[in-house]
Chains A and B, each alone.
Chain A
Amino acid sequence: MIAAWTPPEWVYNCFPRPELETEVVTLDYVMEAMQAEIAACTEWDSTPLGRVLHVAHMLVSHQGADGLWAATFHLRTGKDVGVERSSAPLSLFRRLNAILDSTEFDFALRRGEAGVLSQKE
């Protein structure tokens, strides 16, 4: 599922890539990869969680004014691809808050949930 991680100088740095040459990904792919990383953690080794937290932090930075994210984006340039919006990171944020007994993603969750509501309206 993860062939490589993006280099530090890319806008979406240390993000998963399904193929070595991939520069455009869907948020659904990134979320699936992150959930698999969490699943790979054990009681004594949560190394993959560090990678997931980094991706989650970057996604908080790229949350749009509407509380949502571009469904497809360019990893190197950070540019949105297409106009479709997505709330896919919200379930990841909830899971991370629960794992770490943390409030870190509370605000992003509130914004995202409001975004989902207004999208429905």
Chain B
Amino acid sequence: MHTEELDALKRQNQEKPLSRRDFVRVLSVASAGTGLVTAGLTGLSLTSSQRAEAAELIVETLGKLPTVKLGRLPMKVTPLCISQDWSRDLLAPALDLGINFIHKAGYWNNVPDEIKKLPRESYYTDITVDNTSPGHDPDNYDEAYNQVKNSLAKNDLKYYDIYRAHYGWHSPEKVKPENNTSYKAFLKLKKEGLVKYFGVSQHPYDGTPAEVIEKYALMTQACIDSGIIDAMQVWYSYGYPKEVMDIFAKASKAGIGMTAMKINAHGRGKMGADKERQVALKAEGMIGRALIRDVMTEKRPDGKPIFHTCVSALRNQQTFEENVGGVSKKVAMRDGFDQFQYEV
């Protein structure tokens, strides 16, 4: 199909949906290039079934995702997680690709049908527990315990794999097991079979950039020293200072399962301006893909990756294809990108 023909179809599509024949022709053009399928569909207004068909093609293009061990935990997770606040139409393709870790599942009132029908053991979840969030009382045992209990009563997920203290603690003393109310609530919930592992979604604190790094280092070290933290989710993106990377490398080396978040929100501008880095990551013009590859190939001093998985806010098919492609083996091979280590 020639460009002129495609343009004519796009113009025609302003008036009415593409016919089956035309849609198939457009799809075959979209999948023939080495770029994104969704890029070939830009400017077209597709019906629900056409979108579903495009999603199937995207899944085929990306291939099944690999899994990696989440630090010392007996969990093999995909290098990218589903987030509870993703667009619902992305869940089916994500599950088809094998994505098996759902972040913030504890906030769901009702689990979406795509997930409800799966055996509970076939995927992992976490709950971000809010008694450590701003405005809450980190010593409120009942709030922590009841959030987990009440959410499971609503969404029927049976259990969460990871209990994450949301935002994290504000002093090293509060992380220590003897002072840690979240940990006490976790132990009770674990005994009841409602959670399995203890973790934190550590947010940085307000302050100058130097103060933020200093506090992040202090609290990450406290988490390592406590010996009770199995998993950490942290803000990390392209352009963050090396000092921050060094802190997370230490946590990763200590066997803590590491998840990176805020990858797109915080790195987009810098990566967008750095064409050279995009080229090095074999993702020229695909900022989401470049950001994911950058974060997921950050190395510890021993050469192993710092992060085992990451969270990215995905809200349409194009960002889905671009971002998920960042951790796809099939796409990496096609792009000649050989920096992933799948066996950690």
Residues of A participating in the B interface, judged by any CB pair closer than 8 Å: 7-9, 11, 13-14, 41, 44-47, 49-50, 53-54, 60-63, 65, 67, 78, 100-104, 107-108, 111
**Beta-carbon contact of A60 and B134 below 8 Å:** yes
Residue-wise, chain B 201-240 has the 8 Å CB interface mask toward A (1 for contact) of 0010010010000000000000000000000000001010
Which of chain A's residues has its CB closest to B106's CB?
A: A103
Which of chain A's residues has its CB closest to B109's CB?
A: A101
**Could you tell me the distance in whole angstroms from the C-beta of A8 to the nearest C-beta in chain B?**
4
A8 to B240, CA, bound (A): 10
Given A46-B87, A67-B135, 9 more contacts at CB 8 Å? Answer: A8-B237, A11-B206, A14-B266, A47-B316, A49-B85, A50-B313, A103-B151, A103-B154, A107-B130
A65 to B136, CA, bound (A): 10
Residues in chain B near residue A67, CB distance under 8 A:
135
8 A-B Cβ contacts within 8 A?
Answer: A8-B266, A8-B269, A44-B316, A47-B316, A60-B133, A61-B167, A102-B109, A111-B135
A13 to B270, CA, bound (A): 14
Main secondary structure of the interface of B (DSSP, over half): loop
If A103-B109, A103-B151 touch, does A63 touch B134 (CB 8 Å cutoff)? Answer: yes
Residue B39 CB within 8 A of the other chain: no
Tell which of B136, B206, B237, B264 has the most Cβ of chain A within 10 Å: B206
Residues in chain B near residue A8, CB distance under 8 A:
237, 239, 265-266, 269
Which B residues from 79 to 126 make CB contacts under 8 A with A? 84-85, 87, 89, 104, 107-110
**Beta-carbon contact of A47 and B109 below 8 Å:** no
**Beta-carbon contact of A108 and B109 below 8 Å:** no
Residues in chain B near residue A7, CB distance under 8 A:
269
Residues in chain A near residue B108, CB distance under 8 A:
101-103
**Beta-carbon contact of B315 and A63 below 8 Å:** no
**Beta-carbon contact of A47 and B85 below 8 Å:** no
A86 to B203, CA, bound (A): 25
**Beta-carbon contact of A100 and B133 below 8 Å:** no
10 A-B pairs closest in CB distance: A50-B313, A45-B316, A46-B315, A8-B266, A104-B107, A61-B134, A102-B107, A47-B315, A101-B109, A63-B135
**Beta-carbon contact of B51 and A44 below 8 Å:** yes
Residue B317 CB within 8 A of the other chain: yes
Which B residues from 296 to 325 make CB contacts under 8 A with A? 313, 315-317, 319
Which of chain A's residues has its CB closest to B319's CB?
A: A47
Which of chain B's residues has its CB closest to A100's CB?
A: B85
Which of chain B's residues has its CB closest to A112's CB?
A: B135
A98 to B87, CA, bound (A): 14
